[in-house]
Amino acid sequence: MNAQARTAYINARLIDPVAQTVSDGALLTVGDKIWAVGPDAFDASDKDGTTIVDCQGKCLAPGFIDMQVFLGESLETTSRAAAAGGVTTIVIQPDTSPMLDQVSIVDYISRQAIDAPINAHPMAAATKSLEGQEMTEIGRLQEAGAVAFTDGRKAIQHPQVMRRLLTYATAYDALIVQHAEEPDLAEHGVMNEGEVSTRLGLPGIPAEAEVIMIERDMHLVAMTGARYHAALVTTAKGVAAIRKAKQQGLNVTCGTAPAYFALNELAVEDYRTFARLSPPLRTEEDRRAVVEGLADGTIDVVVSAHDPHTEDEKRLPFSLAEPGVVGLETLLPMGMELVNGGHLTLPQFVASLTSTPASLLGLPGGRLEKGAPADLVIFDPTIAHRIDASSFASGAKNSCFDARPAEGRVLQTIVGGTEIYRAESWQS
């Protein structure tokens, strides 16, 4: 795009996640940066050479930043799915092939991402080969482009390894991200442990597997002073443990995904493998606790946990099916259930997808202010529709929300001042 190209987005409903405000106005971009925001951002008498986008009263927000994306498909396909979901930045999990545990590989991924239509950043492995035994070279990996460190779907099980990681990370202000699930308690489990798992005859994973790992890690965070993030919190006990840690002043954050605030364990009735997740869907009490955690700020970010799988990997007996769902294209409509239900304000929800993950990862996006990247999403929060996985841009269709009634649709996605997605029905 021409470095001086100007685009004015007028008649917009501006969602500012930092100021937590909703206001009517305009936004002007010049090149790949935001130039002005607000009621006086654009003078219609000075429109020569400016592309005008009439937002028609729809919402204009910073592009979404997704902290947890498993790259089960090509970066090109994943980028298309992200753009359709209003996601302008994805953070790639380290269990790629080859794994993101070496400086050369992280550097390669960082360079490859430059040519992607969206922003893509690697989250490097915390331990070599994701085996939980030996730390990776955090400092050098960070220099190569890693925005945080995790073992992805695996918990960092050994307390001494986690202590060393946290201690070492403090020297680089690096964020350690944990899959909060005690492996021994979770071993062989395929769904939440309880009445439903007993009735279905499926091995369960107790809620205690989550809270035990979180509470152990909180002691290590207190010892080291490190920055710690629990990737997915799914239980009432887990939410309570994070809330207590924050009250104690620990440098702790956490995330969750739409499945955990929109569904409960009953979604796996009839052995529905598209609802098999890791961590598993929990009880209705747990689901309500996750919603409350989002509402009071205990849970900081919402992620898609996008994890594409083929039909062959999902159309199997429940215990043999791969866990995980695609989620990039359902982030907005599922989040709007919380907003329209009165649990979160629209700026709160947008912040969980923009300014908060940007702050945690040290990324420049997530803000509507002069000088910020021109990464934007225009959406209508009220369009009623039924989720149709067959229409997803993602090659994989393993959604646990297929055919669910929903509200909210992405209309246009912009990265670096350039439009990368427009809904067929949207005329600006």
Whether 369 is in a domain gets the answer no
Beta-ladder partners of 380: 409
pTM of this structure: 0.95
Q: What is the pLDDT of residues 273-316, one digit of tens each?
A: 999 999 999 999 999 999 999 999 999 999 999 999 998 999 99
Q: How many domains does the chain have?
A: 1
Per-residue pLDDT, 112: 87
Which pLDDT band, with edges at 50, 70 and 90, does 45 fall under? low
Give me the residue label for tokens 């795009």: 1
Q: How many CB atoms lie within 10 A of CB 199?
A: 9
In a domain, 268, yes or no: yes
CATH number of the domain where residue 67 is located: 3.20.20.140
Q: Which domain holds residue 321?
A: 63-361
- Cα-based torsion angle of the residue sequence 73, 77, 81, 87 in order, rounded to the nearest 10 degrees: 90
Mean pLDDT over residues 379-394, rounded? 95
Closest by Cα among 366, 415, 417, 368 to 29 = 417
Mean of all residue pLDDT scores within the chain: 95
**Residues 209-222: pLDDT tens digits?**
999 999 999 999 99
Q: Is the pLDDT of residue 1 over 50?
A: no
The pLDDT score that the predictor gives to residue 43 is: 79
Per the domain annotation, does 7 fall within a domain? Answer: no
As a dihedral over the C-alpha atoms of residue 178, residue 182, residue 183, residue 184, rounded to 10 degrees, the angle is: 170
Report the SS3 class of residue 28.
Answer: strand
Which residues sit opposite 53 in a β-bridge? 9
Q: Is 219 part of any domain?
A: yes
Q: What percent of the chain has pLDDT over 70?
A: 98
Say what the pLDDT of residue 427 is: 65
Q: Looking at the domain assignment, is residue 260 inside a domain? A: yes
pLDDT digits (tens, 9 = 90+) for 112-121: 888 899 999 9
Q: Are strands 124-125 and 119-122 parallel, antiparallel or unpaired?
A: unpaired
In a domain, 350, yes or no: yes
- Residue 346 counted as domain residue: yes
Does any domain span residue 331?
Answer: yes
pLDDT in tens, 188-241: 999 999 999 999 999 999 999 999 999 999 999 999 999 999 999 999 999 999
- The values of phi and psi at residue 217, to 5°, are -65, -30
Q: Which of 220, 245, 114 is nearest to 158 (CA)?
A: 220
What is the residue type of 197?
S
- How far apart are the C-alpha atoms of 341 and 198, rounded to whole Å? 32
Task: Give me the mean pLDDT over the 260-266 stretch.
Answer: 98
